[in-house]
Structure 1
Amino acid sequence: MAATGSARELLRRLHDVMAARQSTQSKLDQVSVLIAGALESEVASIYLLRDGMLELFATRGLKQQAVHVTRLAFGQGLVGTIAETREPLNLAQASQHPRFAYRPETGEERFHSFAGVPIIRREQCVGVLAVQHVQPRDYDEIEIEALQTVAMVLAELIAAAGLVDAEASAPKPPRDNSPLRVAGLKLVDGMARGQAVFHQPRIIITNTVADDAETERERLKDAFARMREEIDQMVSRADFAGPGDHDDILETYKMFALDEGWARRINDGIDGGLTAEAAVEAVAQAQRIRLGSASDPYLRERLHDLEDLSNRLIRIVSGQSDTAAKRGLQEDSILIARNLGPAELLEYDRRFLKGVALEEGSLTAHVTILARAMGIPVLGRVKGLREAVAEGDPLLLDSSSAALFVRPAQAVLASFEERTALRLAKQAEFEQLKDLPAESLDGVRVRLMMNAGLRSDLPALDITNADGIGLFRTEFQFLVSATLPRKGRQVALYKDVLEAAADRPVIFRTVDIGGDKAVPYVDSEGDREENPAMGWRAIRLALARSGLLAAQASALLEAAAGRTLYLMFPMVTEPWEYEQARAIVEKRRRRLAAAGLPHAAEVKFGAMLEVPSLAMVLDELLPRLDFLSIGTNDLTQFLLAADRGNPRLADRYDWLSRGLLRFLKLVVDQAHPAGVPVSICGEMGGRPLEALALMAIGVERLSITPAAIGPVKAMIRSARLEPLKAKMAEWLATPGADIRALLTAEADAQGIRLD
């Protein structure tokens, strides 16, 4: 389709076809002709769901004898794939797709390109709309959007004609009521018990074509005003302990709600003949295509916010505001959803909302950050969640074990209660260790610091009595913002962190963005990276965009006025990278001093060793370092060539491998004589057995998650470390030694706590 105007003309002509007095089959035949003409396409076909199969109901371009003869199952062929995934397909060479299935009765062998969209009714796929061309070509965004709009109108037409069952959907296996355990991904740690409550925000749009565009524009205008008022009220009464990262999240959310471009695109849909509700949904569908397939993780996460806003606006404009949140929770509940936006979570009564289980979700999603700030456990990536769970089912959510127990048996319930009690007992025990030093039985003092990246992490400093913050990840503020965070906001965050730490040190890591943590306001200068963890990120990007690093340095120096600022640079590979980054910071410090502006009294500089090659030139860097941090997460996967996210390599990603421990000892043995303290930042230090191995090679500083401080401190206080150092040296020199087995046996013999 050449222009937006063509899409509007198509909608107007569809309206005329729908209003005509003729058979539904005749209308579908005419629709296929209209679509073919509007997209200058040789083929336009409509498949509808009948008796569990996708049946060709109308076509322009394929052989007419195939109508009501060609049938495809869900997942079969390109049409079946669209129905199964409920996602569009856009193919220049259809036959090269692995799901391509040739149907000789259609005469489609001469057509190369293919584009298709699902026809959705009540969140179920009831058909597919497809176009084909002889010449190989990619379809434009405007063409796919036009197809989706037509599919929305078709959904109304075929429902009114009774051509498909209102409850029709992809075939599902029969559901029983037996107990079930489903796995997921821990997003927010915790355990919860409650009944299943479905969050069902999407409204069924029953009227898609408008009679009066001016009336629809007024309805939309009123709905926007009401939605913005609701958001302001909701944010003002949000249940948080104090200011935090959720402030940034909610401000970004409000910014989306006020986006004039969004409103303009919806009004364009109304001008084309859609009702206000249908225009909002049409724009939302276009956003799903653009953002859902984006390689940029930031953009994919923002899709949840936009989905939330679109659903909210449709509910308001249609007058259908009945959601689980609006009805109100009456007892302890676990919320079930495909996904949630941040505002949707805030609508629930915190007294009864005990946990959240999502079919999708991610660690960086806004709803995850808000749930963490609110203390609500969240389990994500639960496949088949809404098929496994029924409204009102009793549930046990254990995100620490990445599991959801549906209709649990009595034995499981008893075990869950025991684990909950044990968890509370351990927390009480660790609380008693809070004010005691992390010191071994033979007098080795270990500094236990915590990792942080959010304001909501800061209370854990006092709860755990950590020795400080050994790693404050500054990038989160950059990731949740649609634009570069203003200096004032950066200064406020860094001041809050320093004030929470009081006289304890805080080590700020300069922003680590790029790679798989892309932001929209920094040009990535290239296509999607094959290996983002080893790509254009961290100090590499910061040096290339030195203005970004300089601005952050100014904010950090100002926030630390009169104090010592501990600053480290991520992913240093060569000494010159460290020198250049340090020079940028020192230049900013001199500029602030010359202007008489407040700034840090002293700056201590460090580097993160995550790239193995740095260890080979460490002798050149140590004289310029005040401290060194080893990032074991990335270092391990780089050193062992084992992607930590690949389940098939789980046994290769081994923190107790001899090669890794030998490497770490090499670094420690270089740094100690130079008087440069070494700390471990990463998950390795938060596991008691692995932490014990680190101490056995001479590491005496750990920066770990707050939850790990209690268990690791209990381990340290039950161990004798000096004898272990001699044994570890012997094991590392023994070919084929199983360090994990040997260390576990030694811990058992000593009575060292590893629980």
Structure 2
Amino acid sequence: MSAVAAARSILTQLHELMASRISAQGKLNQVVDIIGEALNSEVCSIYLLRDGMLELFATRGLEQAAVHVTKLGVGEGLTGTIAANIETLNLAEAAAHPEFQYRPETGEEKFHSFAGVPIVRRQRAIGVLTVQHVEPRRYEEVEIEALQTVAMVLAELIQNAGLVDDEHPGSLSSNHTGQEVLDGLQLVKGLALGQAVFHQPRINIEQTVAEDVEAERQRVYLAFDKMREQIDQMTGQAEFGVGGEHEEVLQTYKMFAYDEGWSRRINEAIDSGLTAEAAIERVQQRTRMRMREIDDPLLADRMHDLEDLANRLLRIVSGQLGTAASVGLRGDSILIAKNLGPAELLEYDKRRLKGVVLEEGSLTSHVVIVARAMGIPVLGRVRNARGLIREGDTLLLDGDFSKLTVRPSQGVLDAFEARFVRNRERQAAYAKLRDVEPFTRDGQRIQVMMNAGLRDDIPMLSLTGADGIGLFRTEFQFLVSAALPARDRQTRLYRDVLDAAGTKPVIFRTVDIGGDKQLPYLSNEYGREDENPAMGWRALRLALEREGLLKVQARSLLEAAGGKALNVMFPMVSEPWEFEAAKAVFEKQIVYLKTLKRKLPEAINYGVMLEVPSLAEMLDQLIPQLSFISIGTNDLTQFLFAADRANPKLAERYDWLSPAILRFLARVVQATAGHRVELGVCGEMGGRRLEALALIGLGMRRLSITPAAVGPIKELVRQIDTAQIGAAMSRWLANPPPDMRAALSDWAVQQGIEID
């Protein structure tokens, strides 16, 4: 029997049962019999969430005396694990699972196989539906799908009968009336002040079983047509100009809207007997369960795009089109959502939308790329934001320090508004330095370059007056694409960047993927299987193995730079042979392009990222082959300390002003002295004023930093005497003070150098 036929057989019987006048308990008692017989399963049980515990409410096959007696905590045993994780379990031998717990009163010791699905209502588990069998076997996929469909219908019956806890965990209580400060993850920097507005994309589904399958199918067809029309219109009206990464994001989003596989799965759910709304939600429940199993953040972000589209489709098919975007924003607003798709963000009035707060979200998500292009600050990973914030609350979004202040006191509000004023004043002061070359007080020219990765970052080159792009992260184009970017697309991007930069240099770093930057369209031979992905199969290691990937990028860069200088940098080089192998890929492409009589770069400069400490021991062998070296302080520091920079418990140990790091950097400076190789630092360290002061004291003369830091660092450079800070650093490195950060701060204050 197919999943559709099995589910339809059960739903037909459930439809009649739900229309009957027997009690809710009586209905559940019959439900377990219907499911057990349809799936030929000896045990079928329903557990419901009551008083915070999962209570056995009905069973076929277990001891009847255990009903309303057996209770499990959420997260306890196999059933509790299903509820806690909102996941499906399918086990041939239940006792072999680490969370297995034996309850003697149920008489389940003779049953080996076990399968269970969560009963979900409004994205929380309100119960669990389980089946068991004497013989050890995994249930067929068609049986699991039938259970998941039935669980959805049960959710309606259970909720309407008032059998489960009504209060949503984390719901807003009357205690939340004063000021609160919530932490989050900085996704897009900036400050925002506005009133809380809830995006509210969810639709409550009141009827799950279809009366007329063909009528439901027609409703879905019409909804798909309308949704696709909306997406087409939106992609044609994006107000960012032509060719930005946001455009690629929307094209990827559009691809999901036209995905035949997604519409087919919804139609199959309708065939099983569900209404159009229930079918869309049924498919999305499966998607959400898959998302919880995905460690790859990029693939999870793509799933969020599908969630956004499903919400849109639900609103269309149900006729409930009232999101905050369609109603309209009445004043300066900060949008609150669990997550948000790029198309949903584009629907809002850009004049009144001042910021976005997400309970989820990640740096690589599509909505973040679009928000950055719109200039809207975004704070993500704000836990229980929708539970702690009321509609209309005054919010202060501090994207610079990753904080959200809810219902601020008047004093805090005044201080925040004063920061707004100071920010504007400081930005105006930095703007005056745009065309000023950064010389120190004793006449040393410091190159202040910027990091970039998106086509939309390039205008910042002229706005900030940076000396060039010291790090162009080519992998960003790969991260926002639904498939491996074609050679002509890569070439077009690199050519646009070089044209926009004009006479200013651009250093292209070859693709740095793997680790925390996974690509869903490449096989998972790397990264996800590494115990420590940051130190695993990533960056140049991966590119050398997949020579086709590097070969296409090499040709794209060479063709894009025809008639200009090309600066190429290889990431995560740990030994000289890796650099030589990567350079050989480029040299082969040069020979090939010559046979095609293509215009080649007038000069090619090769460099490396020094991130792996082992490379420092081999610089004498490598320097003669290099034009430049860029020290990647983010990865270098975690490798030196063996401290994962993403682990908050290790944050205090991850200090760039540690004497160990500064001594290491000083050795690299000494190793390159007297050689015709440019040495610089690219990364967050160079964009912080106190750290930049230390780097200049060590002898660094080139910093590549985030565009927002260019103005502050140019201002700092003009206050420094390199001879004085150089002498102070030499003393401290020879005899480190107990607190290097404090010592450097005190010295800067004494010299009249602003370090904040």
Partner of 1:239: 239
Q: Which residue of 2 aligns with 1:714?
A: 715
- How far did residue 753 of structure 1 move? 1.6
Q: 1:491 to 1:32 in 2, by over 3 A?
A: same
**Deviation for aligned residue 1:680:** 0.5
Alpha-carbon distance in 2 for matches of 1:117, 1:710: 55
Matched, 1:331 2:328: no
Task: Tell whether 2:548 aligns with 1:547.
Answer: yes
- With over 3 angstroms needed to count, the CA separation of the structure-2 counterparts of 1:574 and 1:55, relative to structure 1, is same
Contact 1:49/1:55 (CA < 8 Å) preserved in 2?
A: yes
The residue that corresponds to 2:180 in the other structure is 180
Instruction: Please give the secondary structure, in 1, of the residue aligned with 2:500.
Output: helix
Does structure 2 retain, via aligned residues, the 8 Å contact 1:49–1:168?
A: no
How far apart, CA to CA, are the structure 1 residues paired with 2:280 and 2:748? 62
Report what 1:565 is aligned to. 566
Return the TM-score normalized by structure 1: 0.95
CA distance in 1, matches of 2:144, 2:687: 49
Which segments of 5 or more consecutive residues in structure 2 lack a partner in the other structure?
A: none
| Contact 1:301–1:365 (Cα < 8 Å) also in 2 | yes
Aligned to 1:678: 679
Aligned AA (1:64)? Q
Alignment of 1:405-554 (within 5 A): 405-525=405-525, 528-554=529-555
8 A contact 2:491–2:556 mirrored in 1: yes
Name the structure 2 match of 1:36.
36
Distance in 1 (alpha carbons) for counterparts of 2:138 and 2:572: 39
Hey, what does 2:69 align to over in structure 1?
Answer: 69
The residue type paired with residue 316 of structure 1 is I
The CA RMSD measured in Å over matched residues stands at 2.4
Q: Aligned equivalents of 1:99 and 1:406: distance in 2? A: 39
Q: Conserved in 1, the CA contact under 8 Å of 2:395 and 2:406?
A: yes
Q: Against the structure 1 CA distance between its residues 686 and 65, is the aligned structure 2 distance closer, same or farther, given a 3 Å change threshold?
A: same
CA distance in 2, matches of 1:271, 1:61: 30
2-structure distance, mates of 1:625, 1:418: 48
Distance 1:2 1:476 in 2: 43
Give the match for residue 592 of structure 1. Answer: 593
Size of the aligned set, in residue pairs, is 754
How has the CA–CA distance of structure 1 residues 655 and 161 changed in structure 2, closer, same or farther, with 3 Å as cutoff? closer
**SS at 1:401's partner residue?**
coil
Residue in 2 that maps onto 1:619: 620
Shift of the alpha carbon at 1:375? Answer: 0.6
Q: 2:214 — aligned with what?
A: 214
**Taking structure 1 as reference, are residues 657 and 162 closer, same or farther at Cα in structure 2, changes over 3 Å only?**
closer
| Cα offsets for 1:160-197 (capped at 9, x unmatched) | 445457x4434758332111111111111111111111
User: What's the counterpart of residue 750 of structure 2?
Assistant: 749
Aligned residue type for 2:633: T
> Separation in 1 of the partners of 2:281 and 2:315?
11
1:113 deviation in Å?
A: 5.5
Give how far 1:660 is off.
Answer: 1.3
Kept in 1, the 8 Å contact 2:183–2:402? The answer is: yes
The residue identity in structure 1 corresponding to 2:634 is N
| Alignment-derived partner of residue 274 in structure 1 | 274
Cross-structure match for 1:697: 698
Q: How far apart, CA to CA, are the structure 1 residues paired with 2:633 and 2:174?
A: 44
Residue by residue, what CA displacement relative to the aligned partner does 1:5-30 show, whole Å, maximum 9, x if unpaired?
54444444444544556443333222
1:250, 1:342 within 8 Å by CA — same for their partners in 2?
Answer: yes
Secondary structure at 2:192's aligned position in 1? strand
Task: For residue 99 of structure 1, report the CA deviation from its aligned partner.
Answer: 6.6
Deviation at 1:77, TM superposition (A): 5.2
1:81 deviates by 5.0
- Go from structure 1 to structure 2 and tell me whether the alpha carbon gap of 1:32 and 1:729 turns closer, same or farther (over 3 Å shift): same
CA distance in 1 between counterparts of 2:720 and 2:500 reads 31
Q: Distance in 1 between matches of 2:147 and 2:127?
A: 13
User: Which deviates more from structure 2 when the two are superposed, residues 80-89 or residues 398-407?
Assistant: 80-89
**Tell me, what secondary structure is at the counterpart of 2:621?**
helix
When structure 1 is superposed on structure 2, of 250-259 and 319-328 the one drifting more is 319-328
Change (3 A) 1:693 1:439: same
Question: Residue 315 in 1 paired to residue 302 in 2?
Answer: no
Q: Deviations over 1:284-306 (max 9, x none)?
A: 12222223312222211111101
Encode CA deviations 1:464-485: one digit per residue, 9 max, x unaligned.
1000000000111111212111
Deviation readout 1:536-573 (Å, 9 max, x if unpaired): 11111111111111111111112212111111111111
Q: Judge conservation of contact 2:3–2:145 (CA < 8 Å) in 1.
A: no
SS of the equivalent of 2:330 reads coil
Match of 2:225 in 1: 225
Displacement of 1:157: 2.1
The AA in structure 1 aligned to 2:340 is L
Distance 1:715 1:140 in 2: 66
Q: State the partner residue of 1:169.
A: 168
| 503-512 vs 81-90, greater mean Cα deviation | 81-90
- Larger mean Cα displacement after TM superposition, 700-709 or 128-137: 128-137
Q: Distance in 2 between matches of 1:502 and 1:633?
A: 29
Q: Does the 8 Å CA contact 2:512/2:538 hold for their aligned counterparts?
A: yes
In 1, the alpha carbon distance for the partners of 2:643 and 2:162 equals 55
SS in structure 2 opposite 1:600? coil
The one-letter code matched in structure 1 to 2:648 is P
**Aligned match of 2:259:** 259
1:200 is matched with 200
Give the Cα separation in 2 of the matches to 1:407 and 1:109.
Answer: 55
Bigger Cα displacement from structure 2, 443-452 vs 493-502: 493-502
Amino acid at match of 2:369: I
Q: In the alignment, does 2:345 pair up with 1:345?
A: yes
Of 62-71 and 379-388, the range deviating more from structure 2: 62-71
User: Closer, same or farther in 2 for the Cα pair 1:209/1:636, shift >3 Å?
Assistant: same
Share of identical aligned residues, percent?
Answer: 61
User: What amino acid sits opposite 1:269 in the alignment?
Assistant: A
> How many Å separate the matches in 1 of 2:619 and 2:36?
66
Listed one character per residue, the Cα deviations across residues 214-261 of structure 1 (whole Å, up to 9, x for unaligned) are 222222111111110001112222232553110110010001111111
The offset of 1:53, in angstroms, is 4.7
Equivalent residue of 2:704, what SS? strand
Q: Which amino acid is the alignment partner of residue 173 of structure 2? A: P
Paired position in structure 2 for 1:659? 660
For structure 1, which segment, 130-139 or 149-158, has the greater mean C-alpha deviation from structure 2 after superposition?
130-139
CA distance in 2, matches of 1:122, 1:571: 45
Contact 1:266 1:279 in 2 (8 A): yes
Per-residue displacement from partner, 1:593-629 (whole Å, max 9, x unpaired)? 2212233222111111111111111111111111111
What TM-score do you get using the length of structure 2 for normalisation? 0.94
User: For the residues of structure 2 that align with 1:657 and 1:6, how far apart are their CA atoms?
Assistant: 64
Q: SS in structure 2 opposite 1:496?
A: helix
| Equivalent pair of 2:334/2:395 in contact (CA under 8 Å) | yes
CA, structure 1 residues 143+419, in 2 after alignment: closer, same or farther (shift >3 Å)? farther
CA distance in 1, matches of 2:325, 2:363: 23
1:27 aligned residue: 27
> Tell me, what secondary structure is at the counterpart of 1:147?
helix
Partners of 1:134 and 1:696 lie apart in 2 by 74
Contact kept in structure 1, 2:452 and 2:472, CA below 8 Å: yes
1:372-387 aligned within 5 A = 372-387=372-387
* Residue pair 1:125, 1:170 contacting (<8 A) in 2 also: no
Quote how far apart the aligned CAs of 1:740 are.
1.9
Deviation, 1:89, is 4.9
